[in-house]
Amino acid sequence: MTEHNYSTQVISVLVYNHPGVMAKVAGLFTRRGFNVESITAGKAKYEDMLRLTIVVKADKKSLEQIQKQLFKIIDTVKVSVINPDLKVEREMALIKVRSQNGLKSELFQLVDVFRGRVVDASPSGFIIEITGPVSKIEAFINLLSINNVFEIARTGTVAINRWPVKNQTTQEGRI
């Protein structure tokens, strides 16, 4: 297996919400030695199904294996890799920040620039909500002084493909 050409990929998996299905999916990654960055799960369009969004670091070959092994789980209905060019990707973070004299207005400005929101305030500090692609959230966290940050809770990535643009698909079809 080649050790280069690793890239971050987002896999979307639709599964039946049967007991143990999360353990099956999560176990697969350790068992087969795949690198996971995040797994999120939530109800899908259908009542009895879950949509899992899994962010992995993988090369082409292991990405293919991951998809096949995921599909092999009996409860798996569909596995798809999110197309990086058509991806709409979001993560949400709740960040608990300590109050510090004089830094309040600077912090609020920063939150504004990143289109975040202050969702809780108290004499001891604030809670900031920020949503966006992973890169935006990381950029925001990097700007906060680590000493000021008390706690961070992140949801992990969810992603979905955009509607295909009609012309584009026909063109691709021709190729």
Partner 1 sequence: MRMNGARIIVESLIREGVDILFCIPGGTVIPLFDELYKNGNDIRLIIPRHEQGGTHAADGYARVTGKTGVVIVTSGPGATNTITGIANANMDSIPLVVITGQVPTSKIGTDAFQESDIIGITLPITKANFLVTHVKELAVTLRKAFYIAKSGRPGPVLVDIPVNIQQNQTEYVYPAKIELKSYNPQEFGHPKQIKTAIKLIAASEKPLVLVGGGVNFSDSTELVNEFCNALNLPVVTTLMGHGVNPGREDLYYGGIGMHGSLYGNYAVQNADLIIALGVRFSDRILGDPRTFAPSAKIIHVDIDPAEIGKNTNSHLPIVGHVGSVLRLFLKMDKNVRDHTEWISELTRLKKKHPFTYDKNKFLKPQHIIQLAHKYFPVDTIVASDVGQNQMWVAQYFRFKQSRKLLTSGGLGTMGFALPAAIGAKIGNPDNEVLMIAGDGGFQMNIQELMTIRRYDLNVKMIVIDNKYLGMVRQWQELYCDKRYSATESPDNPDFAEIARVIGIRALTVNCPEEAEESIKELAASKESMLVHALVDPEENVLPMVPAGKPLDQILTKM
Residue ranges binding partner 1 (CB under 8 A): 15-16, 19-20, 23-24, 27, 31, 61, 64-65, 68-69, 71-72, 74-77
First to last CA, the chain: 30
**Phi and psi at residue 163, to the nearest 5°:** -55, 140
| Whole-number Å distance between alpha carbons of 111 and 117 | 6
The nearest distance, CB 75 to partner 1, in angstroms, is: 6
Closest to partner 1 by CB, 49 vs 152, is 49
| Whole-number Å distance between alpha carbons of 24 and 71 | 11
Closest to partner 1 by CB, 50 vs 107, is 50
Of the candidates 27, 175, 159, the one whose C-alpha atom is nearest the C-alpha of residue 81 is 159
Determine the residue type at 155: T
Closest to partner 1 by CB, 72 vs 162, is 72
The nearest distance, CB 26 to partner 1, in angstroms, is: 10
The nearest distance, CB 18 to partner 1, in angstroms, is: 8
